[in-house]
Every structure is written in C-alpha cells, then in structure tokens.
C-alpha cells in the first residue's frame, strides 16, 4: 500500500464540519491572535486554515497539501502562536526569566526568502503576544547576528536546514526542548537534497512533539520521511494541483526562435496593464543576462537567484514590495516565498524543470483576491514539457499570439489534447512600444531562423558558452532598479558590437553613465 493511499484513509476534518468563510473566532484561537488577524484585513479563514488550524490546536500531527497562495503559512503560524500563549499560562511549562532553552517552535523552510516570509508572518500575527521572540537563521549571511539572536530567550526559530545544522554542531542552536516542528514545502526541501539534514535535526528534537508537514505531495521520499517524523498524523488535502486557478488566466505563446521569444517578451512588458511582472528563467546566468538586457532598454528590473549575496537579495525583495521594481527576473528556488500581491503577471521565459514547479510559479500572481495573468513563452523544443504541464494540471494552456509578433512556423498541435485555442491576441501593434521594440513587428524566415543569423542570438543558450569574465556584467547580478534604467553597470566590461535596442541578438554595448540614475546595490571593483 502506498503512503498516499494510506494518508488519504486517515481521519480528516471535513469542510462541512468547520466551513471556510466562518469567523476566525470559531477556530479556537486566543483573542490577541484573532485581533491581529482581523487587523490584516482578511475577512474569513481560507479552506486550508479552516480545516488545518482546529486539528493543529488539538496537538495532533498533520500532513497538509495545499496549493500556493491558499494561506497555508497562516495555517501553521496561528496554532504555533497559540501553543506559545498556552505554554506561558501553564506553570509547569513556564520558563524562568532569561532562561535560554531554545525555541518552543521550530520551522524548517527550503529557501532564505521563504524563511524570512514565515518570520514576518509570525511577527505580524504575533503582534499582540507580549514579549514574543522570533528569529530566523539562513545561509548566505554572516553568522554574527544569528549567533546573537540565539543567545537570548526564544519562542520561534525559522531556519534553512543547512545553516541550522551548522549552528547545532557548534552548540549555538539548542533545539532539545522544541514542542512543535513545522516543515514548510517539505517536497522542495527534499528536491534540494536536505533529507539527511532534516533527519539529523529531527533526531535532536524531543520524541514527544507535534509535527506539521506541508507539501505539494506526500508520495515517494516525502511520504517515507513523513512516516519517520510523524505519529498517527491527520491528513488535510485542499486545492490539489488539478484544481482550476480561477483568479489566474493562463496563456501560451509559441516562439520560432530565441530572438522571437525575446521580441515577444519586450512587447509584453510594454503593456500598461503590467503592474509588476515576475519573469522566470531556467538558470542563474539566464536571470542575470536577461535582467541586464531589460535594464538596457529602460525597465526598472533586477535579478533574484540563489547565487546572489543575501544582502542584495533582501534589497531586491524590498524594492519589489515597495514598488521600486516593475520587473523581477528570478529562478524557481529564489522565487519561493515571494508574496507580493501587486505582481500582476508571471512570465515563463524559461520553462521549469518539473511540471509541478509551473503551478508554484503561476501561484505568485492572482493573490489576495486579485486576478493575474500567467504567460508561457515556448519554442518547439519545449513541446514535451508543455504537454507534461497540461497532463499534470489536467488543464489546457490556451494558445494566444502577440499582435505583430505572430509565429511564422505552424503551431505544434500534433499529439496535443483537444484543448481550445480561441484566446484573443495580447498587446497592441507590433514594434510601437515605448521602449522602441521590434519596429515593424517580428521578422523571421520560413524556417523560424533569425534574420540576423550572423549575430549572436539572445536567450538561454546565447551566453552559456562564454567565460564568466566575458559576460555583460562580470560575475555579478545586475540588481539595479529605479529611474527607468535599472541594470547594474560595470564599466569594466569589454566593448563589443553595439547591442541594438529591441533586438535579441548582438553583443552588449559598453556601459553608459546615467546621471541621477542610482544603480542598485554597491558598485564593486571588478575582479
């Protein structure tokens, strides 16, 4: 019997018993938590909150699967805060003033961004909990501040597994008295190779604890890990990946080449309906290069990926939340944990490695009651992944065209399910955007090749064969934003053939000085 089958047979609270849309008072939370929730403006619990929170308050272990943007973070933050309040009111569990015994609640997250998002959630919802101490420890930042946070009394610790294991090994992190363990996005942590770290951390925790696991699936290795870490868990499954994303419109644009794909991206970003756009690439290098190119034609843009220093990543996310960035170019791992309601568009410039990552990507838009648009730009070589995504979601991605940039090659419809194709065109006339894009629209030959075939094409493959030192911005992320000229400038890069505005090919032009256009992040001496 597979673990998923066994999990589905576990007793679970049905939506009818605790209906979504009921008041927060019905969840059994302390008044100070309810006041903080109400203050955020949320009218009623979501499905996953209505089902998971009452079960978590009973002290039972939980296995919860819920789609991105469904409110799952609050579904474990609220019970964790309730546990802290209850412990303070229990004389047997009350700690002496100044006692350092490690956190009561330990949350493990796969990425730095997600860990910081969870930390902010504890701070917001725990606003009314007197003296609440929350800390997060993640990789990529200096140890000093984290060591200082771990020295004092601590209620909640949010951590990435690798950094926490390092701190436990040095004796700086004490987890022997944790009463609750939460694994957020457990499937992603296993994908990133954290299974051994998680197992070692769990062995250091008390055997009698409450464990809450949140994951897109509990099949395979995730299910085996759940068996090891939980005791008679309750199963809560809400909003499976096959459910329709009612607030997100999905479109598929077929491109003849990398040049064509970049032309469409430029045109899409000229649309005034784009409030903020999250553009996904397949690799860190692609994110850097694409962000630099978009910055060159005037977009307020920055890259975000795991190869960037944590301080720069923090500044990028702050710029996104404050509206200083209009376009963020990111990889899958770095984008985990981004919760910015003003992201109106998600654009898949590079396709994900796995079909389930597509669901996580598009879930970055259409949040907090808003609508969103998810656009996928695909070439013929991507047909297989498009089919896998559609099979995984059991939904078609409607084919559309960008006016003036229609593909010259036939649409790859062979073996495609009988899905509708009647979506309206997106955007206005080709080549008339404010950035001076592809004038006269896309021009390709009958074989889908680039008219400017003698020049280097722009795209996922165009820079991979070049040494790092020859890249437009050296070994650093562009990361700039503000003032309409956002890319980080590196005056040390070698001059080459000028990069033609609105053209996908050609070597990048030399850097220019922009008076009054501050670059994002400190300028460093080239290596």
pLDDT tens figures, 334-384: 777 677 888 999 999 999 988 878 888 888 888 766 888 999 999 999 999
Predicted pLDDT at 512: 35
Contacts of 209 (CB under 8 A, 6+ apart): 178, 179, 180, 181
Where do the DSSP E strands lie in 244-342?
248-254, 276-280, 301-304, 327-330
Please say whether the dihedral angle defined by the alpha carbons of residues 311, 315, 261 and 263, taken in this order, is positive or negative.
negative
* pTM of the entire predicted model: 0.57
Q: Where in the chain is the domain with CATH 3.40.50.300?
A: 3-238, 248-470
Give the span between the Cα atoms of 501 and 298, in whole angstroms: 10
Where do the DSSP E strands lie in 29-127?
62-66, 105-108
Low-confidence ranges of the chain (pLDDT < 50): 1-21, 98, 414-527
Q: Are 213 and 181 in contact (CB under 8 A)?
A: no
Domain 3-238, architecture per CATH? 3-Layer(aba) Sandwich (3.40)
Cα angle 108-336-24, degrees, rounded to a multiple of 5: 70
As beta bridge partners, residue 89 has: none
Predicted pLDDT at 472: 40
Give the span between the Cα atoms of 181 and 107, in whole angstroms: 6
pLDDT digits 0-9 by tens, 376-411: 999 999 999 999 999 888 888 999 999 999 999 888
Contacts of 432 (CB under 8 A, 6+ apart): 439
Give the span between the Cα atoms of 31 and 35, in whole angstroms: 6
Predicted pLDDT at 26: 82
Q: Are 156 and 84 in contact (CB under 8 A)?
A: yes
The CATH class given to the 248-470 domain equals: alpha beta
159: closest CA among 130, 134, 192, 124?
134
Q: Are 378 and 390 in contact (CB under 8 A)?
A: no
């Amino acid at each position: 019997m597979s673990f998923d089958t066994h999990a589905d047979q576990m007793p679970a609270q049905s939506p009818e018993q605790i209906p979504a849309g009921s008041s927060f008072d019905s969840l059994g939370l302390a008044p100070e938590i309810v006041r903080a929730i109400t203050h955020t403006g949320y009218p009623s619990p979501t499905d996953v909150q209505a089902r998971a929170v009452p079960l978590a308050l009973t002290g039972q272990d939980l296995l919860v699967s819920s789609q991105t943007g469904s409110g799952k973070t609050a579904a474990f933050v609220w019970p964790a805060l309730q546990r802290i309040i209850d412990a303070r009111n229990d004389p047997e569990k009350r700690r002496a003033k100044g006692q350092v015994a490690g956190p009561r609640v330990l949350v493990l997250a796969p990425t730095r961004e997600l860990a910081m998002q969870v930390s902010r959630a504890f701070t917001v919802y725990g606003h009314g909990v007197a003296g609440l101490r929350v800390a997060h420890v993640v990789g990529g930042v200096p140890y000093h501040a984290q060591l200082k946070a771990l020295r004092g009394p601590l209620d909640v610790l949010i951590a990435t597994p690798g950094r926490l294991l390092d701190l436990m090994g040095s004796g700086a992190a004490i987890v022997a008295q944790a009463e609750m363990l939460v694994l957020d996005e457990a499937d992603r942590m296993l994908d990133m190779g954290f299974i051994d770290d998680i197992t070692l951390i769990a062995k250091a925790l008390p055997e009698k604890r409450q464990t809450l696991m949140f994951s897109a699936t509990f099949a395979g290795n995730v299910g085996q890990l759940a068996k090891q870490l939980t005791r008679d868990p309750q199963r809560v499954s809400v909003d499976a990946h096959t459910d329709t994303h009612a607030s997100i419109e999905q479109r598929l644009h077929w491109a003849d080449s990398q040049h064509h794909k970049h032309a469409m991206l430029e045109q899409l970003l000229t649309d005034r309906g784009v409030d903020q756009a999250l553009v996904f690439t397949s690799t860190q290098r692609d994110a850097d290069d694409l962000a630099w190119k978009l910055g060159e034609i005037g977009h307020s843009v920055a890259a975000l990926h795991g190869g960037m220093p944590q301080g720069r990543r923090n500044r990028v996310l702050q710029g996104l939340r404050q509206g200083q960035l209009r376009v963020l170019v990111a990889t899958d791992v770095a984008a985990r944990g981004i919760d910015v309601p003003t992201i109106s568009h998600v654009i898949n410039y590079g396709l994900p490695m796995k079909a389930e990552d597509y669901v996580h990507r598009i879930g970055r838009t259409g949040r907090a009651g808003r609508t969103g648009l998810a656009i996928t730009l695909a070439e013929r070589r991507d047909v297989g992944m498009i089919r896998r995504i559609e099979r995984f979601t059991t939904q078609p991605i409607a084919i559309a065209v960008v006016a003036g940039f229609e593909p010259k090659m036939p649409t790859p419809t062979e073996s495609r399910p009988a899905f509708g194709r009647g979506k309206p065109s997106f955007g206005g006339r080709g080549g008339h955007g404010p950035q001076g894009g592809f004038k006269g629209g896309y021009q390709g030959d009958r074989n889908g090749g680039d008219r400017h075939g003698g020049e280097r094409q722009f795209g996922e493959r165009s820079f991979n064969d070049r040494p790092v030192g020859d890249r437009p911005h050296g070994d650093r992320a562009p990361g700039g934003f503000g003032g309409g000229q956002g890319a980080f400038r590196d005056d040390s890069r070698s001059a080459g053939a000028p990069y033609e505005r609105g053209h996908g090919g050609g070597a990048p032009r030399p850097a220019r000085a922009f008076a009054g256009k501050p670059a994002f992040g400190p300028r460093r001496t080239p290596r």
